[in-house]
């Protein structure tokens, strides 16, 4: 029979569901349930298998609308597609919230540093899941990602770039796992915000001022010896903050800090005598393996930022970050003629390009030295001129 509105509504209900096929479109039919529900469907062959695909319910769709959709789907079948298989695969595709959880446990925790995992988890919880959590990963588009990036950029542009990086990494991993078609990363070609590189170095006078405040803080007891020592060690070694705050006594030798793991992997840091003396003067707690002690008997200092804000305020250096102490170490090294390749090893930089950011400071040192030589020669020439005749003058 031809499936029309009148014909469909006239079909009787039976104890079991049954199928009625359309006389005009082969493979287009209707399933009638004992409850009175009637669903339009198509039936087709996929290889050696017969498959059925439900189009929709009568009442929601008219018979003519269902017939047109059936023709479209059967046309897709003729081109080699499998509507029923595609629907099943789609149901198996995880949501973005599920992808976040799987990415953190199966990828990040295995391949990333703990600090990176914490950053990923924070950005996923605060931004990605609230925006895309219930969505299937195949439904997220570049427009969705661009809109989220723009929204975060209004207040925190650098944070927006970190979130964009996380989304890009997650969807690349989803492609590697076969959860999304390769080359369809929705973060691709979303332009990052421009980030100005922060270069802040303590001048000689500022270094002296900071040292005075540190000694004063130690004398009046406003800061603990471990806090003051941690900041001094950052200055004297060029280490990253986490490398000092999580330093264990087992890593300390007379000449080096032997770190089994760091941001760039295993690292051997030269330990100057001044830094070694500071370490040897620190009080220890039996059973606690850490050098920089915190508030617990078996742990290390977990928050150096808060005391640093107090110290830098007293020193009049409120724009200086703890990481700028590392910059200061590198700048002094460059201005004292340390070779970039050697400095790369000292600083634990992964790429030489990172070390070469300080190259302009070497230019300043060279220019200052050249100026000193020229001034000395000029004085010699001028003295001779005074003895033997008038000074040289340039005539235009």
Tens-digit pLDDT profile for residues 5-20: 999 999 999 999 999 9
Domain CATH for 44? 3.30.160.390
Of 269 and 190, the structure prediction assigns the larger pLDDT to: 190
Same domain, 86 and 100: no
Structural domain containing residue 83: 5-91
Q: Is residue 19 part of a domain?
A: yes
Mean pLDDT across the chain: 86
Domain CATH for 111? 1.10.150
Q: Is residue 54 part of a domain?
A: yes
Q: Is residue 369 part of a domain?
A: no
Of 99 and 382, the structure prediction assigns the larger pLDDT to: 99
Q: What is the number of alpha carbons within 13 Å of residue 118 lying toward its C-beta?
A: 3
Of 250 and 341, the structure prediction assigns the larger pLDDT to: 250
Same domain, 315 and 217: yes
Same domain, 219 and 313: yes
Same domain, 82 and 107: no
Q: Is residue 269 part of a domain?
A: yes
pLDDT in tens, 237-295: 888 898 899 999 999 999 988 888 776 677 888 888 999 999 999 999 889 999 999 88
Rounded Cα distance, 52 and 59, in Å: 20
Same domain, 140 and 60: no
- At residue 113, the pLDDT reads 81
The percent of residues in the chain predicted with pLDDT above 90, rounded, is 51
Domain CATH for 223? 1.10.443.10
And the tokens for 210? 């900071």
pLDDT in tens, 320-329: 999 889 888 8
Same domain, 70 and 104: no
pTM: predicted TM-score of the whole model, two decimal places: 0.56
Characterize 52-91 residue by residue with b for buried, 16 or more Cβ atoms within 10 angstroms of its Cβ, and e for exposed: ebebeebeebebeebbebbeebbeebeeeebbbeeeeeee
Q: CA of 212: how far to CAs of 130, 208, 275, 336, in Å?
A: 48, 6, 17, 24
Of 320, 348, 366, which residue constitutes the final position of a domain? 320
Confidence of residue 352 (pLDDT cuts 50, 70, 90): confident
Please compute the mean of the pLDDT values over residues 368-395 and round it to a whole number.
Answer: 64
Same domain, 119 and 72: no
Confidence of residue 126 (pLDDT cuts 50, 70, 90): very high
Please compute the mean of the pLDDT values over residues 155-160 and round it to a whole number.
Answer: 93
Q: In what order do the strands lie in the sheet with 28-32?
A: 18-21, 28-32, 38-46, 49-57
Look at 35-44, 224-233, 255-264, 316-325 and tell me which has the smallest mean pLDDT.
255-264
Rounded Cα distance, 248 and 152, in Å: 39
Rg of the chain over Cα atoms, rounded to whole angstroms, equals 35
Q: Is residue 312 part of a domain?
A: yes
Please compute the mean of the pLDDT values over residues 189-197 and round it to a whole number.
Answer: 88
Same domain, 228 and 311: yes
Of 12 and 378, the structure prediction assigns the larger pLDDT to: 12
Same domain, 227 and 316: yes
Confidence of residue 371 (pLDDT cuts 50, 70, 90): confident
Q: Is residue 332 part of a domain?
A: no
- At residue 200, the pLDDT reads 82
Please compute the mean of the pLDDT values over residues 210-235 and round it to a whole number.
Answer: 93
Please compute the mean of the pLDDT values over residues 196-205 and round it to a whole number.
Answer: 81
CA angle 88, 90, 96 (to 5 degrees): 145
Q: Is residue 172 part of a domain?
A: yes
Q: Which region, left, alpha or beta, applies to residue 47 given φ > 0 means left and ψ of -120 to 50 means alpha?
A: left
Same domain, 29 and 53: yes
**Largest separation between any pair of C-alpha atoms in the chain:** 129
Of 304, 320, 336, which residue constitutes the final position of a domain? 320
Characterize 26-46 residue by residue with b for buried, 16 or more Cβ atoms within 10 angstroms of its Cβ, and e for exposed: ebbbbbbeeeeebbbbbbbee
CB 23 within 8 A of CB 7: no
Q: Is residue 352 part of a domain?
A: no
- At residue 39, the pLDDT reads 93
Same domain, 309 and 213: yes
Question: How many domains are contained in the chain?
Answer: 3
Of 267, 288, 320, which residue constitutes the final position of a domain? 320
The percent of residues in the chain predicted with pLDDT above 70, rounded, is 89
Which residue carries 């003895």 as its tokens? 387
Same domain, 215 and 289: yes
């Amino acid at each position: 029979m031809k499936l029309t509105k009148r014909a469909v509504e006239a079909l009787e209900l039976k104890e079991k569901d049954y199928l009625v096929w359309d006389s005009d479109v082969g493979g287009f039919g209707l399933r009638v349930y004992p409850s009175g529900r009637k669903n339009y469907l198509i039936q087709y062959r996929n290889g050696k298998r017969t498959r059925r695909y439900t189009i929709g319910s009568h009442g929601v769709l008219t018979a003519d609308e269902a017939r047109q959709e059936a023709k479209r789907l059967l046309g897709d079948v003729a081109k080699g597609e499998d509507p029923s298989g595609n629907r099943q695969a789609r149901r198996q595709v995880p949501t973005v919230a599920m992808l976040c959880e799987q990415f953190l446990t199966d990828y990040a925790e295995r391949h990333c540093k703990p600090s990176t995992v914490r950053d990923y988890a924070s950005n996923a919880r605060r931004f990605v899941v609230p925006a895309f959590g219930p969505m299937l990963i195949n439904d997220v588009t570049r427009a969705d990602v661009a809109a989220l990036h723009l929204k975060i950029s209004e207040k925190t542009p650098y944070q927006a770039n970190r979130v964009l990086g996380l989304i890009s990494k997650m969807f690349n991993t989803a492609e590697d796992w076969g959860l999304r078609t390769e080359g369809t990363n929705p973060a691709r070609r979303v332009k990052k915000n421009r980030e100005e590189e922060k270069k802040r170095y303590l001048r000689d006078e500022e270094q002296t001022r900071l040292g005075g405040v540190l000694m004063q803080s130690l004398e009046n007891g406003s800061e603990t010896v471990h806090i003051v020592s941690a900041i001094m060690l950052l200055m004297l070694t060029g280490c990253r903050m986490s490398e000092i705050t999580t330093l264990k006594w087992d890593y300390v030798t007379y000449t080096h800090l032997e770190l089994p793991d760091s941001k760039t992997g295993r690292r051997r840091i030269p330990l100057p005598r001044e830094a070694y003396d500071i370490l040897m003067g620190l009080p220890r707690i039996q059973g606690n393996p850490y050098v920089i002690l915190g508030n617990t008997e078996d742990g290390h200092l977990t928050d150096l930022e808060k005391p640093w804000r107090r110290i830098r305020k007293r020193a009049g250096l409120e724009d200086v970050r703890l990481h700028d102490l590392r910059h200061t170490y590198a700048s002094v090294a460059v201005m004292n003629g340390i070779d970039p390749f050697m400095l790369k090893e000292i600083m634990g930089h992964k790429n030489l390009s990172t070390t070469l950011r300080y190259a302009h400071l070497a230019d300043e040192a060279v220019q200052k030295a050249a100026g000193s030589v020229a001034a000395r020669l000029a004085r010699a020439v001028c003295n001779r001129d005074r003895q033997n005749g008038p000074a040289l003058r340039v005539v235009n």
